Amino acid sequence: MSLRFYNTITRQKETFQPLEEGKVQMYTCGPTVYDYAHIGNYRTFMFEDLLRRYLEYRGYEVTQAMNLTDVDDNTIRRSKERNISLTELTDEFKSAFHADLKTLNMQPAHQYPEATNYVSEMIEMISDLQQKGYAYKAPDGSVYFNIEKYGQYGKLAHLNPDEMVSGGRVADDSYEKEGVRDFALWKGYKPEDGDVHWDSPWGKGRPGWHIECSVMSTELLGPHFDIHCGGVDNIFPHHENEIAQSVCATGQDFVNYWLHSEYLLVDNKKMSKSLNNFYTLRDLQDQGYPAEAIRWMLITTHYRQKLNFSVSRLEESQKAVNRMREFYTKLASYEGGGQEDAESQIKTAQSQFILAMDDDLNISGGLAAVFELVRWGNRAMVEGALSVRGASAIHDLMQSIDHVLAVLDMDSGLSTEVDEAYIESKIEARKQARANKDFAASDAIRDELAAQGIELIDTAQGTKWKLK
């Protein structure tokens, strides 16, 4: 079996064949740096990290570019609300984003192009589109892409041609499928833009969001590359518009494989800033959740399935990581004198892991193979049947698979300072729950603290705590 991915544009799994043997070029839409990214955003970035790590595990040399959107409707609005310059705002959240990536043990992209550094290239591409007859200037000094001129428009998002309003225009960066219109490549200056503007052949203004990614991907990876990713909300309009711009400007194919990850939900609704139902990485770390539990939770549900965020899921995730870590440590110090070299078990685990992950990153299948080996290995160590050579070979396999999962050695990201007031409040809440004979609630508090590395000890003088 070969490596296969579900390609959004064809709506089917396809065998992966890079343009250049052994090499993969991927472009992943990055954050809009107007606020802290929430863990819904990180679900998408983490899927991209998993994808890249697995491609590397399979021997590909991957080049990844991830843009930072540092000028768009949202960044301008927020900088005005906060009464600071656009750069001041975006610098703050660029650094926060890089710090979060590190905490979550994501591999840094090879390039992080920032939109404001590519405005002259954007003006060039828009001029080119205008010369070729795909774009036109509107009376307010904006430039629009004429979707009627591009016959393939709507192929990625499966738009119904009857729903496209010919001649209509949409100026916003984000809009719904019901509002398919000509979209803005360049936005003529409006007083709300304050001092955010550039000179252009159409007067002063600023780029639209979609042109940013067409230009930065072409500049860094060339006009035609292998993989382009994002969350499912990027399919329309962002990626649909990117295809139109890039194909019409360069006259070449653009992207071979479009991969999109599903949402992280809270109570069955998309985690998002607008619904105010989001958690940042900092929120969870402040509550004492280690980064490895968050990482595990986000990568271990298949990327095309919706994932409901919950605290109990985080606690389960921590247990799974702990099991892997304990096994890994035991293997390293194993001194039993058995004869079993575990060759067939290792071969099976590895081939089952690859078989599953090759099938569009079937992570549950991959982990089932790993945990089967963990179960078998633990038993073989307890019984003393495993040889030292076998333990060391399993250790090597776990290490190589951890290039993909990346949880064995990562730091928890938690400050070593303990929030004593928080723990005391939890102990008090547990005491209340016990007084009310609500033992489910009191157990849940104990488990929640345990997942954060805090052990409760009930004594005659009341409940005490210690770090595990």
Residues near ligand AMP (CB under 6 A): 29, 31-32, 40-41, 43-44, 230-231, 233-234, 263-264, 270-272
Q: How far is the CB of 91 from Zn ion (least distance, A)?
A: 20
Q: Which is nearer to Zn ion, 212 or 340 (CB)?
A: 212
User: Radius of gyration over alpha carbons of the chain, in Å?
Assistant: 25
Q: How far is the CB of 69 from Zn ion (least distance, A)?
A: 7
Q: Quick one: which segment of 90-98, 131-139, 208-216, 366-374 binds Zn ion (CB under 5 A)?
A: 208-216
Q: Which is nearer to Zn ion, 213 or 264 (CB)?
A: 213
Output DSSP code: residue 362: -
CA 86/CA 195 separation, integer angstroms: 9
Q: Which does 34 bind (CB under 5 to 8 A by kind): ligand AMP, Zn ion, none?
A: none
From residue 280, give the alpha-carbon distance in Å to each of 46, 97, 126, 171, 263: 14, 11, 36, 30, 15
Q: Which is nearer to ligand AMP, 31 or 237 (CB)?
A: 31
Going by their DSSP bridges, the two strands 225-231 and 255-261 should be labelled as parallel
Q: Which is nearer to ligand AMP, 207 or 231 (CB)?
A: 231
Q: How far is the CB of 267 from ligand AMP (least distance, A)?
A: 12
Q: Which does 207 bind (CB under 5 to 8 A by kind): Zn ion, ligand AMP, none?
A: none
CA 256/CA 357 separation, integer angstroms: 20
Q: Quick one: which segment of 209-217, 340-348, 400-408, 411-419 binds Zn ion (CB under 5 A)?
A: 209-217
Q: Which is nearer to ligand AMP, 99 or 450 (CB)?
A: 99
Q: Quick one: which segment of 21-29, 47-55, 150-158, 334-342 binds Zn ion (CB under 5 A)?
A: 21-29
Q: How far is the CB of 229 from ligand AMP (least distance, A)?
A: 8
CA 231/CA 42 separation, integer angstroms: 10
Interface with Zn ion, residue 29, by CB under 5 A: yes
Q: How far is the CB of 26 from Zn ion (least distance, A)?
A: 13
Residues 374-413 vs Zn ion: string with x where CB under 5 A?
A: ----------------------------------------
Burial degree of 352 (CB within 10 A; 0-12, 13-18, 19+): middle
Size of the site for Zn ion (CB under 5 A): 2
Q: What is the DSSP string of 245-264?
A: HHHHHHSS--EEEEEEE--E
Output DSSP code: residue 236: I
Q: How far is the CB of 117 from Zn ion (least distance, A)?
A: 15
Q: How far is the CB of 123 from Zn ion (least distance, A)?
A: 18
Amino acid found at 225: F
Q: Which does 213 bind (CB under 5 to 8 A by kind): Zn ion, ligand AMP, none?
A: Zn ion
Among 125, 213, 298, 449, binds Zn ion (CB under 5 A): 213
Q: Which is nearer to Zn ion, 110 or 204 (CB)?
A: 110
Which among 109, 99, 91, 59 has a CA at the least distance from the CA of 216?
A: 109
- Cis omega (within 30 of 0) on the bond before 223? no
CA 412/CA 409 separation, integer angstroms: 9
CB 107 within 8 A of CB 50: no
CA 247/CA 153 separation, integer angstroms: 10
Contact positions vs Zn ion (CB under 5 A): 29, 213
